[in-house]
Amino acid sequence: MTQAQNQKPAIKGKFTTATITRRVDIAHDLWKIWLKPEQSFAFKPGQYCTIGAAGIERPYSIVSSPDEPEIELFVELVPLPDGNLTPVLHKMGVGETVTLRPRPKGIFVIQPKYKNHVLVGTVTGTVPYVSMLRKFLADPEWPEDQGVPRSEHRFFVLEGASYVHELGYDEELGKLAAEHDFIEFMPSISRPDEEPNKGWDGATGRINTLVEDYVAERGLNPLETCVYACGHPQMIEDVRARFEGTDFHFIEERFWKDDD
Ligand SMILES: Cc1cc2nc3c(=O)[nH]c(=O)nc-3n(C[C@H](O)[C@H](O)[C@H](O)COP(=O)(O)OP(=O)(O)OC[C@H]3O[C@@H](n4cnc5c(N)ncnc54)[C@H](O)[C@@H]3O)c2cc1C
C-alpha cells in the first residue's frame, strides 16, 4: 500500500496513484512536479487531473502534453491556515506518492473552430496553454480540422503576474514565440516599481487591462477569435466583462472562487 493510501481520511471511490519523479521550486510558494502515473493516463490538453494526499483531493490543470510519459503540474502554495492540500504537497518530494483519479476532467480545451487563440492566464493559469502548445508542436494531426486548416492557427499567450519570478514558463513560451511566427507571448508585471521586479523591461499592468488593446492592435477578426481566460477569478471576471456581448468567443477556467 502506498503512503498516500495509508493516510487518513481515506479517499472514497476509484483512484490510482502516481509517484513524484521530479520537483523544481521556482519560488518559495511555487513549484513544478512531475508525476509518473501507476496506470496510463490519457487526457486532452487543457484538462485537469485530480490528485490527493492525506485524504485531501484537488484538481490541477496539466502542463505536459498527453504525449509525454509523465504528468507535469505547476502548483502555488496556499499557506496554512487557508490552504489544505498545498501545504501537504509542498512538503512532498521525489519518490513519494499521491492519489490520482483515473480519469481527467474539464472542457477548457482548444476550440479548433477558431483561427486565433488569445490565451490569457495569471501565474499557474498559463498551465493549460503550455500543454496546448506542446501538443500542437509535437502532433501534426492536432487539433482536428474543424474548418480551420492547421496552418492557419495562431496563438497569443498573455500572462500576468505580480512578480517576474512567478512566470513559471516564460523561458519556454518566449523561446516558442521566437521560433514560430504563429506564436506570440506577452508577459506583463503588475507591480513594476517593486524591488523584485527591478530591471523588468517588458509590459506592465494587469493583464486583463491589456487584452483589448492587444487584440485590436493585431486586428484580430472577432468571429475567428476565441479568448481563453484561466487562473485568478478577478482577472477572469474582468476579461469576461470586456468580451461578453461582442463577436469574440470566450471561455474560462477558474482555479478558485473569489468568495471561497
Ligand atoms: C479546474 C482547476 C484547475 C486547477 N489547476 C491548478 C493548477 O494548475 N495549479 C494550482 O496551483 N492550482 C490549481 N487549481 C487550484 C487547486 O485545485 C487548489 O484549490 C489550490 O492548489 C489550493 O489548494 P488547497 O487545498 O491548499 O486550498 P483550498 O482548500 O483549495 O483553498 C483554500 C482557500 O484558498 C483559495 N485559493 C485556492 N487557490 C488559490 C490560489 N492559487 N491563490 C489564492 N487563493 C486560492 C480558495 O478559494 C479557498 O478560499 C485548480 C483548480 C481548478 C478548479
Domain hosting 160: range is 116-254
pLDDT tens for 196-242 read 999 999 999 999 999 999 999 999 999 999 999 999 999 999 999 99
- Domain count of the fold of the chain: 2
- Which ligand 1 atom minimizes the distance to the CA of 258? 47
Let me know if residue 56 belongs to a domain: yes
Let me know if residue 121 belongs to a domain: yes
Let me know if residue 9 belongs to a domain: yes
Whether the CB of 77 sits within 6 Å of ligand 1:
no
What pLDDT, on the 0 to 100 scale, is given for residue 10? 78
Q: What is the pTM of this model?
A: 0.95
User: Do 91 and 134 share a structural domain?
Assistant: no
User: Do 216 and 140 share a structural domain?
Assistant: yes
> Of all protein residues, whose CA lies closest to atom 27 belonging to ligand 1?
83
Q: What's the 147 CA to ligand 1 centre distance in angstroms?
A: 36
Contact 55, 62 (CB under 8 A): no
pLDDT tens for 20-51 read 999 999 999 999 999 999 999 999 999 999 99
Share of the chain above pLDDT 90, in %: 93
| Domain stops at, among 30, 65, 100 | 100
Mean pLDDT of 246-258: 95
DSSP helix/strand/coil, 10: coil
Which positions ≥6 away from 39 have C-beta within 8 Å?
16, 102
Q: What's the 150 CA to ligand 1 centre distance in angstroms?
A: 34
What pLDDT, on the 0 to 100 scale, is given for residue 79? 97
Q: What is the CATH number of the domain that holds 58?
A: 2.40.30.10
User: Do 222 and 134 share a structural domain?
Assistant: yes
Confidence of residue 132 (pLDDT cuts 50, 70, 90): very high
pLDDT mean across residues, the chain: 95
Phi/psi at 171 (nearest 5 deg)? -65, -45
User: Do 37 and 158 share a structural domain?
Assistant: no
Q: What's the 255 CA to ligand 1 centre distance in angstroms?
A: 6
User: Do 247 and 145 share a structural domain?
Assistant: yes
Distance of CA 215 to the CA centre of its chain: 21
Which positions ≥6 away from 147 have C-beta within 8 Å?
113
